[in-house]
Structure 1
Amino acid sequence: MRFVKSYKISKFIIIFLFIIMVFNPEVTLIGAKHGLLLWFNVIIPSLLPSIIISNMIVSAYGETFKNPFLYIIFTGLLCGYPLGAATAVQLSKKNRIDTKKMQFLMAICNNSSPMFITNYIILSTLNQKANLFQMIVIIYFPLLLLLIVFMIWNRNLFQHRLKPLIQKSVVKNININAIDSSIMTGFEIVTKVGGYIILFSILSAYIQSMPIKNEILKCVISGTLEITTGIDSIGKAGFSMELKKILACMFTAFGGLSCIAQTHSIIHKSGFSIKKYIYHKIIIMLLTAIMACFMIYVL
């Protein structure tokens, strides 16, 4: 019965959204253009090369990684959504690691890239060059704190390295097939990401077009849907810069429903739980909010 009700609700929502798009083509076009330009100008140049190179590394050396957790931390925190999730899925298959141990680490490491956070959010949108260090601390300190907790809780995994499944002498060479596979996987992931970005950008455009007088509410809805549009609406809002920084850091930590949908498209057949991922992301967002309030209002 629950499945039937859920199916009917989902069907109703899809039909309702389709009707709205048909009768408001201008807003749909604005949202689609924004999402397409974001995907083409930002996501493809920054994410696609990282995915291809990471896939090649995992293909050639993934089975010989003595500690794949460190590689997930490195790629996830530096390369941006959804490479942290993609790397966790790949290495969990290569090294046969329990997905339960990877689950929490994936939520920590699957984040916006430092380039996106610094250039787009802090400098371009909020124009907070003077508070650059403060905002970086707000965003990354909770992640580092949770990483330390994870490493202490799973210290055996870091102290006793995993035994390679194959000998170093027979490490795979990177051949043309591995390169082709890495490129195709990269394009598949980036194409999925682009589809979700366009879809959620359209939804965000409709939110922006609604006659909602409360700017904070409009920003919260937009940021919950899609982080880029949400941050942009925060930058244009008329409330205090302190509140802008808190909301921007919170949405950056959460990632938005668009990034959750992107992550789900990658992990849904791998044994990872999207419900636990969302739960962990909410925890990270709340810790970030506490950190932001402390840094902005106390220090």
Structure 2
Amino acid sequence: MFSAGYTLTLILHGKISALRFFFCLYFPVMCYLIYLVFLFFTSDFLHTHHSSPTIAHKKSADQVIFDSLHSIFMIGICIMIFSIAVSLLEILPLPFYLKRGLTAVLEITNAISHFGSSHISIGRKVILLCMITSFGGLSAAVQTLSVYKKSRLSFWKYLLIRSLFSVSSGLLAYLVFI
């Protein structure tokens, strides 16, 4: 949500409709949510995903604070590592568009800044920024993985779904803004 507001106000300077931009970003997610709800009510969704009974134990206040700080530090470290990777990418002798594509895949904030300042038409810029914002970058994916490392969340499935959201947001932006 922060990156969408950042894109609309600081990069696009309010030149496009925020409602249409949010529609392009969140309509694919809502469709996926409706699909999951449909699965939930039409199949044995809860019965096919067996999990072992959990034993609840209370954590001390110190342990809760430590876990929270650990998550915050992991997220900060991920952002720093991927920002450094994007900076190092700039000094590599790669073609311009390959650098920008890799930047978009690695880290969302740098990608939004790079594509936002590029000299392309506003329609194409909106499409690219919508796709970048919807994907979130590998930095966001690694952050998600670091926070949910104890769950059975598949990193590759997560990336695939984020990529599908990105493509569908880009297609919607193409239909809405061009």
The normalised TM-score by structure 1 is 0.50
| Partner residue of 1:196 out of 70, 74, 78 | 78
Q: Structure 1 unaligned segments of length 5 or more: list them.
A: 1-113, 166-171
Distance in 1 of aligned mates of 2:90 and 2:161? 28
Q: 1:268, 1:274 within 8 Å by CA — same for their partners in 2?
A: no
Distance in 2 of aligned mates of 1:284 and 1:139? 8
Q: Counterpart amino acid of 1:291?
A: L
Instruction: Find the counterpart in structure 1 of residue 109 from structure 2.
Output: 228
Q: Counterpart amino acid of 2:2?
A: M
Find out whether 1:115 has 2:2 as its counterpart: yes
Task: For 1:43-122, list aligned pairs within 5 A.
Answer: 114-118=1-5, 120-122=6-8
CA 1:131 to 1:207, structure 2 compared with 1: closer, same or farther past 3 Å? Answer: farther
Task: For 1:125-144, list aligned pairs within 5 A.
Answer: 125-144=11-30
Find out whether 1:291 has 2:177 as its counterpart: no
Whichever of the two has the greater Rg, that structure is: 1
Q: Deviations over 1:133-168 (max 9, x none)?
A: 2211110111111111111111269xx9xxxx9xxx
Q: Counterpart amino acid of 2:128?
A: L
Secondary structure (helix, strand or coil) at the match of 1:154 reads: helix
Aligned residues: 167
Q: Structure 2 unaligned segments of length 5 or more: list them.
A: 47-52
| Partner residue of 2:60 out of 161, 177, 185 | 177
Q: Counterpart amino acid of 2:173?
A: A
Instruction: Find the counterpart in structure 2 of residue 32 from structure 1.
Output: none
Structure number with the higher helix fraction is 1
Instruction: Find the counterpart in structure 2 of residue 87 from structure 1.
Output: none
Q: 1:251, 1:285 within 8 Å by CA — same for their partners in 2?
A: yes
Q: 1:138, 1:292 within 8 Å by CA — same for their partners in 2?
A: yes
Secondary structure (helix, strand or coil) at the match of 2:17 reads: helix
Q: Counterpart amino acid of 2:4?
A: I
Distance in 2 of aligned mates of 1:276 and 1:228? 23
Q: 1:253, 1:288 within 8 Å by CA — same for their partners in 2?
A: yes
Specify which structure has the bigger relative contact order, considering alpha-carbon pairs within 8 angstroms and separated by 6 or more residues. Answer: 2
Task: For 1:28-47, list aligned pairs within 5 A.
Answer: none
Secondary structure (helix, strand or coil) at the match of 2:153 reads: coil
RMSD of the alignment, in Å?
Answer: 2.6
Distance in 2 of aligned mates of 1:279 and 1:199? 22
| Partner residue of 2:137 out of 253, 256, 272 | 256
Distance in 2 of aligned mates of 1:236 and 1:207? 18
Instruction: Find the counterpart in structure 1 of residue 89 from structure 2.
Output: 207
Distance in 1 of aligned mates of 2:92 and 2:11? 22
